[in-house]
Structure 1
Amino acid sequence: MLIEAAIIFRPLLKRAETETRRADLVTSELEYLAAHDALTGLLNRGQIDRVLSVAVQEAANTNRQLGLILLDLDGFKAVNDTLGHAAGDAVLTAVAKRIQSILCSTSIGGRLGGDEFIVILPGLQKESEAETIAKQLLSSISDPVFFEGREIIPDASIGYAMFPIAGSNVAALLSAADLAMYNAKRSGRGRISKFSEPMRAESERARLIDSEIKSALPSGQFEVYYQTIHEADSDRISAAEALIRWHHPRRGVLTPDAFLGDLRRIGQMDALTAFVLGEAIRQVSNWRRAGFDIGKVHVNVAEEFLLKADAAREVKSLLAAHGVHPSSLVLEIPEETSLNNPAVVATVEGFHAAGIRVAVDDFGVGSVSMHHLCKPAISVVKIDRALVRDLHSSPECKALMASMAGMFRDMGKSVIVEGVETRQEAELLQAVGFKQFQGFLWARPLPAADVLSTALAIQPKVA
């Protein structure tokens, strides 16, 4: 009976052993998949969080340093958009292999998600070791990746931070490395940045001002001031430029230099441009009902607004809503605006076709090509204060200004000289052929009500 039982049950026992081994393999595979990124094979975000917690605790217990590197690929979205996600996956896989090839047995690499990677460096003796590895990573990652006959050259921004100097816990250390990485990204492609305390202070300042800016527009803290533009021969007001001011609840009245950079950083320039346009066009209508014909109102438009496909239609709608003729509006574009961008050119030509005048602002200090000024869509040129400052002491500057006055007159362009502050400057400019001025000699930027009272005092009301 024992022999018969052995004959009967031996195959069953072997099958059970096989199934047990198979179950163990499946369990092992599932555990691996749960801990690793499916594409790159590096540790995934969940596992990295656990490993980093253990590494920080170990560094604290042994009183040793720990390095943390964050790495983000620059321009990776363009790879996916132009070459497809398969190309993007090839780049991510290649980057992961390069990270793994550089790390020693005690270091740990992971993928946080998207195109962001992390490297944990336990047991460092000194900070320079983290910098050395960061440089090796940057050099290796920038090697070409070949995909279906195409050469793709990855770029990366790398930030690193050290425990315990940059942070005494996981959250603080991650935040510090993240700040360093974004500092590298802001500084340009292919950079390495080490965390420093001023980065944390700047981050807190940016967080606070971001919150303040986002609430400023809906709560009515922004106000449009106006600086008048005058005719040289009579001082008559011929136009006014709309200039934004922020009535900050803690810091008082702020000029654009104090906040435009932050507005652009958080993507609010388009909203601010639309606000100023609406306010300025409405004010033209209000002034005329009060008996004051401003002539023209100038409004600065950001490049973000010019890139909108419906920008010209939006401005025409505002003009129609307030009964203001398109010829009463001059849109000023900064001289650094890319007039080689087809989208910007299309918008500018759309303004011109609608009868809205376009001016190049701050001419003489930027990089706008004279070629662009030959286009009929650019009908006004505003000359920067920098060319006025040395007019009385530099014969060369005087000759240059005289040449520009004649050139733009022959081209049929209107010219306004900005930043005129003294009567001597005004007389010299008038002598070489300029006819419209803007500056403190006549007026500082004022609220709309003050502009109206001043204007009615020096020139007659319209009939």
Structure 2
Amino acid sequence: MPAVLQAKVADVADGYHSTLALNLITLSVCILILSMQHEASWTSLIWYGVALVMVGVRAYSMKALTRRGLLLSAPKFSLRILSLGALALGTVWAALPWAVTNFEPLGQHASLLLIMGGMAAGAVIKQIGNTPLALNYSIPILISLMVSLIGLWRPNEVLIGLCLSLMILIFIRRSLWAERMFVNSQVARHEATALADSLTRANSDILRQNTRLEALANRDTLTGLANRVFFHGRLAGDIARARVVDEEVALLIFDVERFQSINDTLGHSAGDALLRAIAARLSSIVEDGSLIARLGGDEFAVIVSGADALNRARTHAASVLEASRQPIQWYQRQTVVGLSVGLAAYPEHASDAEELLACADMALYDAKRSDRRQLREFDPDLRKNAERRRIIEQDLERAIQTGAIGAWFQPQVDLVTRRITGFEALVRWQHPQLGFVSPPEIVNAARAVHLSEQFTARIARDACLLVRRLPELGLPDVTVALNVSPREFALYSVACMLHRVTSEHGVNPASLEIEITEEAILDPALADAQLKQMEEAGYKLAVDDFGMGHSSLAYLIGLKIDRLKIDRSFVKDVARSETNQKLISAMVSLGQSLSLEIVVEGVETPEDAAILARLGCGTAQGYLFARPMPASALDTWIAGHQPSANLKRKGKSKHLSVA
């Protein structure tokens, strides 16, 4: 294993110079001992010189190996060179007994014996990491001593020589064992280091993955902005901080105009490109550290915290709205994209994050409901209105089922004879908590909670019940009209609903009149087929709020409209308005040319009634004649209004208003 070889080289190199220095000292000590014993000779001096050279060669070898970097790059080769150097120096030491005349190992030269034995033993102990190097140095020395002792053939020397031979075997065995232990320790150390490195790398990978997962968890993958989860956490945190340091937190919510139509016509990839472009524009405008988030779909939000947060939020909103007037580049296209903005602030408008978000949503809804491309700040009235809408939507279904919502009826009369010509049904709901709920509120709530069909069917049933009672009241031929919101044609089949209700009550469709506003007639894809179906079934058809839209004469003729109802805005104060008189006169002429009956609504004064009669209007309704009343009150009103001799008069139909 390269790592073990490198460890062996490191073990040899560690203290190598001190080993050579020790050799120099002991070599010099040996020569000094011989000199003191007057036994120094040319042979011993030559031995000393050779030993010094070998020490120098070993020092040079180590320096050369180190300088060339072979200790790390070629540890096996380096160990071989160092082992050869150890063998050479050990052999020089082994030659000492023969360089001394009459060598007496147990006599006068015992000190040399001890020095040589100590050097051999020291080499084995010191170089436990590399047995060949240690044995190459010590074995020649020990063999030399053993031969010197046994060669004297004296009992003591022979016995010590034999003991020395055993010591050589023990040295060899222990050296091999020590090297094994060293190798095992190095392998274990390497494995531990590798494991630690692996764990470190794994930990780094985990940290990187956690960072990436955290980014994915907190960022919207499409735009790179903060996502809804991070937004909620940040909003709650900023409000908690603001509560402590007494600061503001302002929240802006942006909505993109006509985004759904872009998705539907150009595809989701184009919609995604547009959202990315809008996100980039927001990021380029809001640069004060405020958090920009995409809440989902085409809705974005900005949290503005710190000093003067509300005014800074207003500035951001104004800048974004101004920038939205400029074309935006997206998906190789250029277009102007409008935005609506809702703004709310803590603590002025809300006390916590959830309430602040709800307030900003209400402000945004108000901005979208009004003229778009503008900022709406939250107003307490918005909360009241939202709570009112919530209660209406919550209680609407039960009110329909229990009959709390029902129809009241307002009579129509002939302007000349004042005889009853029909009834208009008006929806009424007296809520136990909210009081009177206006018809537009009911219609909007029904559409919001998908109860439009049930709601209109409820009013249609009340109209059918009145139709069945009219013969008892002396008005067998008077009809009742139902006002159908134009949007209902897209929600369900109005014709099928009416057929179901009239069949259930046994009412002839000719007794009912269906009144629709002009906008429904202008959308043939939405209303044409159903209106034709109702016409063929026998229902009378009327156009409400005539003059307020852009009715096509072709439709008025093609659908065989029975009546036109002039909007109250033309009728109010008609006695004093020459312009309104001219307009009504023109509409009456149009109706007469098409054989259509003209009905005017909102008649409140005798003067207005007289002018309308002179202009040719035949039928009218309004507070001048009667206010809307429940069906149970019609008996008394009819009895007091119309003499019994005239109750046989053929009535004209009128309209049920649900809006």
Taking the aligned partners of 1:253 and 1:120, their CA distance within structure 2 comes to: 39
8 Å contact from structure 1 (residues 417, 438) kept in 2: yes
Taking the aligned partners of 1:309 and 1:202, their CA distance within structure 2 comes to: 28
- Give a deviation string over 1:289-348, Cα, whole Å, max 9, x none: 676414211111112223345222222232233332222221112345462452123332
Task: After TM superposition, list the pairs within 5 Å mapping 1:268-287 onto structure 2.
Answer: 268-287=451-470
Instruction: Let me know the Cα RMSD of the aligned residues.
Output: 3.4
8 Å contact from structure 2 (residues 424, 480) kept in 1: yes
Are 1:69 and 2:252 matched, yes or no? yes
Alignment match of 1:200 (pick from 383, 397, 401): 383
8 Å contact from structure 1 (residues 229, 237) kept in 2: yes
What residue in structure 1 maps to residue 551 of structure 2?
Answer: 369
What residue in structure 1 maps to residue 328 of structure 2?
Answer: 144
Are 1:25 and 2:208 matched, yes or no? yes
Q: Output the amino acid matched with 1:206.
A: R
Deviation at 1:280, TM superposition (A): 0.7
- Give a deviation string over 1:236-268, Cα, whole Å, max 9, x none: 333221122223325666663675565566665
What SS does structure 2 have at the residue aligned with 1:293?
coil
Deviation at 1:169, TM superposition (A): 2.9
Quickly say closer, same or farther: Cα 1:63–1:438, change in 2 above 3 A.
Answer: closer
Taking the aligned partners of 1:68 and 1:43, their CA distance within structure 2 comes to: 14
Q: Output the amino acid matched with 1:146.
A: W
Deviation at 1:140, TM superposition (A): 4.2
Deviation at 1:380, TM superposition (A): 0.9
- Give a deviation string over 1:425-449, Cα, whole Å, max 9, x none: 5454444433333334443322223
8 Å contact from structure 1 (residues 362, 383) kept in 2: yes
Quickly say closer, same or farther: Cα 1:183–1:437, change in 2 above 3 A.
Answer: closer
Taking the aligned partners of 2:301 and 2:435, their CA distance within structure 1 comes to: 43
What SS does structure 1 have at the residue aligned with 2:407?
strand
Deviation at 1:44, TM superposition (A): 2.2
Task: After TM superposition, list the pairs within 5 Å mapping 1:92-241 onto structure 2.
Answer: 92-104=275-287, 106-125=289-308, 127-140=310-323, 143-147=327-331, 149-151=332-334, 153-232=336-415, 234-241=417-424
Q: Output the amino acid matched with 2:509.
A: P
Quickly say closer, same or farther: Cα 1:113–1:84, change in 2 above 3 A.
Answer: same
Q: Output the amino acid matched with 1:163.
A: Y
Taking the aligned partners of 2:506 and 2:465, their CA distance within structure 1 comes to: 9
Q: Write 1 or 2 for the structure with the bigger share of helix.
A: 2
Taking the aligned partners of 1:417 and 1:260, their CA distance within structure 2 comes to: 23
Taking the aligned partners of 1:47 and 1:405, their CA distance within structure 2 comes to: 64
Taking the aligned partners of 1:351 and 1:215, their CA distance within structure 2 comes to: 29
Q: Which has the larger radius of gyration?
A: 2
Q: Output the amino acid matched with 1:362.
A: D
Are 1:326 and 2:482 matched, yes or no? no
8 Å contact from structure 1 (residues 336, 367) kept in 2: yes
Deviation at 1:411, TM superposition (A): 0.9
Taking the aligned partners of 1:121 and 1:399, their CA distance within structure 2 comes to: 57
Quickly say closer, same or farther: Cα 1:325–1:218, change in 2 above 3 A.
Answer: closer
Give identity over the alignment, percent. Answer: 31
Quickly say closer, same or farther: Cα 1:379–1:144, change in 2 above 3 A.
Answer: farther
Deviation at 1:393, TM superposition (A): 4.2
Taking the aligned partners of 1:183 and 1:397, their CA distance within structure 2 comes to: 34
What residue in structure 2 maps to residue 246 of structure 1?
Answer: 429
Q: Output the amino acid matched with 1:173.
A: L
Q: Output the amino acid matched with 1:175.
A: A
Alignment match of 2:490 (pick from 293, 299, 307): 307
Quickly say closer, same or farther: Cα 1:353–1:156, change in 2 above 3 A.
Answer: same
TM-score (norm. length: structure 1) = 0.85
Quickly say closer, same or farther: Cα 1:326–1:203, change in 2 above 3 A.
Answer: closer
- Mean CA deviation greater in 325-334 or 205-214: 205-214
Higher RCO (CA-CA < 8 Å; seq separation 6+): 1
Question: What runs of 5+ residues in structure 1 fail to find an aligned partner?
Answer: none
Question: What runs of 5+ residues in structure 2 fail to find an aligned partner?
Answer: 9-182, 649-659
Deviation at 1:26, TM superposition (A): 2.0
8 Å contact from structure 2 (residues 406, 458) kept in 1: no
Quickly say closer, same or farther: Cα 1:414–1:125, change in 2 above 3 A.
Answer: closer
Quickly say closer, same or farther: Cα 1:211–1:409, change in 2 above 3 A.
Answer: same
- Give a deviation string over 1:174-208, Cα, whole Å, max 9, x none: 23322322222222322212223333333333333
Q: Write 1 or 2 for the structure with the bigger share of strand.
A: 1
Deviation at 1:117, TM superposition (A): 2.1
TM-score (norm. length: structure 2) = 0.62
Quickly say closer, same or farther: Cα 1:458–1:268, change in 2 above 3 A.
Answer: farther
Taking the aligned partners of 2:549 and 2:635, their CA distance within structure 1 comes to: 36
Quickly say closer, same or farther: Cα 1:318–1:155, change in 2 above 3 A.
Answer: same
